[in-house]
Amino acid sequence: MGEFFFNPMDPEFVADPYPTYHRLRAEDPVHKSPLGFWVLTRYEDVVAVLRDHRFAKEAIAAFVAQKLGVETMAGIGISMLDRDPPDHTRLRSLVSKAFTPRVVDGLRPRIQEIVDGLLDRAEDRHAMDVIEDFAYPIPVIVICEMLGVPVDDHERFRGWSLDLARGLDAAMLGPQSEVALRSMTARRALADYFRELIAERRNAPRADLLSALITAEEAGDKLSEHELLATCILLLVAGHETTVNLLGNGTLALLRHPSELRRLRENPGMIGGAFEELLRFDGPVQRTARIPSVDAVIAGHKIEAGEMVMPFIGAADRDPAHFPDPDRLDLARADNRHVAFGMGIHFCLGAPLARLEGQLAINTMVHRFPNLALATDRPQYRQSLTLRGLTSLPVTF
């Protein structure tokens, strides 16, 4: 296959990964990177691995710890996101009650109120930063209120959260990378933060998710102290990091496709399908990772047990074999079975909440500000190989 070297650290790739995905898919769809992992870019292969129980997650923490030359991942249990059954099943069933479509739909009035309040605040300025003033506060306020975390503390945990999210790239960046070290520090800081909150709730429980998780922990055999901390950190970080990105990426896609934006304005009822297309077109999570517990074969390539495999979700969602004309944003796209929320047992637990937040936020903003326009032609992307999102998105209206 010659000269093609896939470098996920290339700034051009970070700004727009899709041409590289197309090239990989066409020339080397099961690509062995010199950095030591396998890269999958076809929809079929990505979905097959996400559904295959032989491709496990629990070994990843050990793999990364070994790569980074540390004993454990900062002494806190790994979350259900990185666990395999039966632990994954037990932890997920415990938390999933808080994210059922019925419970989430009950949050609709509150989410709408938050969205309206943020737009009220921006209205007189006729300009805002979509990330800072809108996309970030919505999911942060919602997940804080659900968990029972003081919203006023969001400035405290914002930096930790960003460092943790960036730490998802640690395996690729090597042992002494500042990213890895900062991620560890952030993990410890968040654990300490939650230890304090948990102590408060043990004394005075409230009607929030944190108190419910503590009750489950006290009921024995459900959640250990480590699991409780890991679950709190996961819910807080995953509960807003990805949603910020999907709101930012979705808004940018609409502003770059004025005819589609007009379609949505004229047909607000199409927001459900439109939002799924925004997720497919430029999703917030670009890749995930698995490690096979036994030797496996993908499209004729032998993958040995213990080797890191990276299914690129962002590439799967632009696969022309599955999505006709994949680089075209089509808000009315039919049969849109994207994998932006993953697939299989690790399918995103918060998907119903992310969908509701995204639909309400985007629909309300585009209808309220008919003259919404980009105030920059070069939006800046955050430095991340796992999460795709903007650091800021200035607009006028």
Per-chain mean pLDDT for the chain: 90
Confidence band of 127 (pLDDT split at 50, 70, 90): very high
Q: Give the number of other Cβ atoms within 10 Å of residue 197's Cβ.
A: 17
Percentage of the chain lying above the pLDDT 70 cut: 93
Residue 43 in this model has a pLDDT that exceeds 80: yes
Give me the pLDDT at residue 1, please.
44
Confidence band of 78 (pLDDT split at 50, 70, 90): confident
Residue 71 in this model has a pLDDT that exceeds 60: no
Residues 6+ apart with CB under 8 A from 146: 98, 107, 208, 209, 239
Instruction: Give the least confident one: 86-90, 337-341, 366-370.
Output: 86-90
Confidence band of 167 (pLDDT split at 50, 70, 90): confident
Structure tokens at 296: 């496996």
Residue 82 in this model has a pLDDT that exceeds 80: yes
| Average pLDDT value for residue range 261-269 | 97
Pairing of strands 308-311, 37-40: parallel
Q: Are 134 and 361 in contact (CB under 8 A)?
A: yes
| Helix boundaries (H) for 177-224 | 178-203, 209-218
pLDDT tens column, 351-396: 999 999 999 999 999 999 999 999 999 898 988 888 999 999 999 9
Q: Identify the residue with better confidence: 181 or 137.
A: 137
Give CA–CA dist 111/91, Å, rounded.
27
Instruction: Give the least confident one: 24-28, 75-79, 211-215, 248-252.
Output: 75-79
Q: Dihedral angle at the C-alpha atoms of 78, 79, 85, 91, nearest 10 degrees?
A: 130
Q: What is the DSSP string of 348-372?
A: -TTHHHHHHHHHHHHHHHHHH-TT-
Give CA–CA dist 95/389, Å, rounded.
27
Residue 2 in this model has a pLDDT that exceeds 50: no
For residue 285, what are the β-bridge partners?
Answer: 387
Q: Give the number of other Cβ atoms within 10 Å of residue 65's Cβ.
A: 18
Q: Are 35 and 28 in contact (CB under 8 A)?
A: no
